[in-house]
Amino acid sequence: MPHELLDADVQGPIAVLRLNRPDKRNALSDGLVLELRRAFESLPASVRAVVLCARGEHFCAGLDLGELRERDPGQGLLHSRMWHQALDAIQYGSAPVIAALHGAVVGGGLELAAACHVRVADETAYYALPEGARGIFVGGGGSVRIPKLIGAARMTDMMLTGRVYGAAEGERAGFAQYLVPPGAAFQRAMELAERVIGNAPLSNYAITQALPRIAEQAADHGYLTEALMTAVTQSAPDARQRVRDFLEGRAARVSLPPSHSPQPEPGDKP
């Protein structure tokens, strides 16, 4: 997968894609957006998870304003739709995508992160939507995806007032599912990718493809779609073997991680 603005490294079943415009804070040019689309549309069949990260001090500082030019309404519409197609290729591609976030996750960078399925942020990450102050509007699907993460009221506040969320506050708000020390986002993302590739492939497909669509359906339609996906995934030979392994004691049971176990109160007897 040759690219100029995007580094691609396939490590067995995991593909690592790195934004490679560090001198531009990985701002999204049209060229980079198109490379992202091509990369996700041409993933090898062997790839079962993707880690999306970035070189330099920032994940992505948003749209490359140096490319912003006057467009008539029709041209602007088509340009936005080009971004939609690229980010749809991430969300609805062939493999779950885990984003490793650090530094600026701003504007179009936040739209890009929102298209991923899991987001790991380190403590240097911060989130903003400065489009309102610049007289523009989100155009990469952010008005659809970001409210599903943080709610429409928070997004409205960010765009109207320029509010910036730091890493810890952002994790509580829903921008990321994991918060790690500085420099640790990529390693944690790779660990999660290793867990993802251990799942049944058809289950991963149902989770990334059907679940977001079910969330948009009326309840009675969602129930039917859920039932259909349940029937399909359960009928796969891999799923049948995994259930047998569990019933016969060959699979690990769900338990609370040691770090979350209740700690004894002072004075409690051992």
Q: Please identify every residue annotated as catalytic.
A: 111, 131
Residue matched to tokens 């029937």: 231
The two three-digit tokens of residue 12, written as one number? 């067995």
Asked if 64 and 29 touch (Cβ cutoff 8 Å), the reply is yes
The two three-digit tokens of residue 28, written as one number? 């999204």
Cα of 128 vs its chain's centroid, Å:
17
Instruction: Output phi, psi for 104, to 5 deg.
Output: -70, 130
Q: Of 116, 115, 113, 212, give the one whose Cα is nearest residue 167.
A: 113
Asked if 189 and 179 touch (Cβ cutoff 8 Å), the reply is no
Longest dimension (CA), the chain: 74
